Structure 1
Amino acid sequence: MEEVKNFIKECGAYFLATVDGDEPKVRPFGTIEIFEGKLYIQTGKSKNVSKQIQKNGKVQLCAMNKTCNKWLRLSGTLVRDDRREPKVHMLEAYPELKRMYSPDDENTEVLYFKDATATFCSFTEAPRTIKF
């Protein structure tokens, strides 16, 4: 899991795909952290992405590292964690978000991956998969 987090952080941004009815929706994200042995992302409950995840938690993200010409696909189910502690952890890791979010507001949302499968890919090597 640490390898997955580090790879995504090196990329700087990743794209998260959700389902909205029968349509895929993809948008850029930038938050990724490990807290209490789980891989978390952060968003706002007022956003469409949050509403889509609450209806169908199955998501996939993709991150490309141009430096090494490798990419990562991470699939799993996102689960909302409403506790204050993971929100504080995420906002400490991404202090720029404190302008928009607070661990005590009604909007801040952190979600962790459950039943995740990460596949590292490149054009020159066989894919390598990690499950957590």
Structure 2
Amino acid sequence: MQEIYDFLKKCGTYFLATTEGSQPRVRPFGTVDIFEGRLYIQTGKVKDVSKQMQSNPQIEICACDGGHWLRITAAAVLDDRVEAQKHMLDGYPDLQSMYKPGDGNTQVFYLKDAVATFASFTDEPRVIHF
């Protein structure tokens, strides 16, 4: 999981895909954290992406670094604990003007039953389950 976290951090921005009804929705994201042995992402409760993940937790993430990319499929599981929110936000001081642990808007989701695939045009894909 550390390798996956490191790749996402290096990329800075990755793309998160959700669904709204039968329509795919994709947007740039930038938060990632490892907390209690799980990979987490963060958003705001008021955002459509939050509603989409709660309605259908099946997500995909895609990140690219030069000619290498990472795709992750997983279920996003909401973790309402303030400790998980604080751990995430401690790593993102720039977000602390918009989000506060326990503010009723900050949400963190961990990835469950995740499958990460590292790939490129030249290397065989490498799959990690976490």
Query: TM-score, normalised to structure 1's length?
Result: 0.98
Identity %: 57
What is residue 38 of structure 2 aligned with on the other side?
38
What is residue 114 of structure 1 aligned with on the other side?
112
What is residue 76 of structure 1 aligned with on the other side?
74
Distance 1:109 1:21 in 2: 22
Structure 2 residue ranges without an equivalent (≥5) = none
Paired residue total: 130
| Correspondence 1:27 to 2:27 | yes
What is residue 49 of structure 1 aligned with on the other side?
49
Query: TM-score, normalised to structure 2's length?
Result: 0.99
Structure 1 residue ranges without an equivalent (≥5) = none
For 1:85, what is the secondary structure of its paired residue?
helix
Q: 1:85 aligns with which of 59, 83, 86?
A: 83
Deviation at 1:110, TM superposition (A): 0.2
Provide the aligned C-alpha RMSD in A: 0.4
Deviation at 1:104, TM superposition (A): 1.9
Distance 2:18 2:102 in 1: 26
Deviation at 1:28, TM superposition (A): 0.2
Structure 1 residues 58-117: Cα deviation after superposition (integer angstroms, max 9, x where no partner): 000000002xx1000000000000001010001100011101000020100000000000
Deviation at 1:123, TM superposition (A): 0.5
